[in-house]
Chain A
Amino acid sequence: MIGVIGAGLVGTRVVEQLIAAGQVQVLVSDTNVVAAKRVAQRYSDSTHQVVAGPTRAMFDTNVVVLACPAPHAKAARRLLEAGVGVVSCSDDVEDTLSLLDLDAIARQSRQSLVVGATSSPGLSGLLVRMLMSRFDSIDEAHVAVHGTAGPSCAQQHHRALARQSIGWHDGDWLRRPAGSGRELCWFPDPVGPRDCYRAELADPVVMHHGFPELTRVTVRVSATRRDRLTARLPMLTPPHAEGGIGALRVEVRGWRNDSRHVEVIGAADRVAHIAGSLAAACARGVVTGGFASGARVVGDSDSPNNAMLQAVVDAGIHLREFVGTSSH
């Protein structure tokens, strides 16, 4: 049985994708009991059993997807100590660092803890791993993300623009004020070009864990003038129930045939759909034993990356690569 904590947008998409992949039993839990029951009712049928239950019932499952707002580290620790595998959809930097620190506990319990199973981090790492085959060696990865999933994700986006960004730069962590470093990033259609800025996002931390060979990792998020201006204030208006079409853009730089080479790949879809599809694929991967024990990130060398990428594509997420023109 697979458990899902959180019956918001991402949790709902996780359940949807698990059912689509043939998972027979799913347990859903949320602080909002009505929301959990609604999800259970919507996806239960004669062949699939989706049950809404209390959080303590999660200890009886094989793997739990944490699709609730951060922090996840405390819940993950309890689950791992009880011998339950964990997939976390957290994209908060501090929470991600705390989750990666649970490596020893996960190994001791012989369980897998998948950290950052979302769009960014998550799909970004998977795309970097996929692009690696086109290079002799890679040394830079630059990620840009546009859009948010549900209200909690929007609040996280708002907070991220008010803090300090973190980036991996030539063997050291580089901290810069969030909202700085404007860069025009071209996302796949229908999103198109967006001004993106530094923000406190977890991708460099996760990428550095999964790809130690990278010397530079940056992540930027799209934001409007209003986002940047009001970042340090409480959210002036309540966030939308679901953001519009989001997008992810991954640029990898490295060496091929003794010369510098750049590859750009991306995807445009609803952020909750991307996150839910990837988290569901990770949960299935943990159940089937695809992940080794310990704290794992999507895209690292010991993860079932091809199977996860195929699951994401099968979920209807269209990958697009940027084909530019030669400067000569």
Chain B
Amino acid sequence: MKLFRRLLLVLSVASTVVGILRFGGSSKAKVTTKQGGWRSYSPPK
């Protein structure tokens, strides 16, 4: 029973950490391409 409780504790801590890492920093507004990025290029003929 003690082992089972420890296992549950480890799993819950691990899933919390994974959740924070996965969704904690996801914000689409952080990267801007106003100053740089990919520009279309045509080679000189």
Contact = CB atoms under 8 A, between A and B. Distances in A.
Contacts, number: 34
Contact of B42 (A189, A313, A325): A313
Interface string A169-195: 000000000000000000011000000
Nearest to B35: A325
A325 B41 CA distance: 18
A321 B39 contact: yes
Contacts of A306: 43
A320 interface: yes
B43 A310 contact: yes
B25 interface: no
B36 A325 contact: yes
B45 interface: yes
B42 A319 contact: yes
Contact count band on B: 10 to 19
Contacts of A189: 38
A322 B39 CA distance: 6
Most buried by A among B35, B38, B41, B43: B38
Contacts of B45: 310
A171 to B, nearest CB: 31
Interface of B: 35-43, 45
Interface of A: 130, 188-189, 265-266, 306, 309-310, 313, 318-325
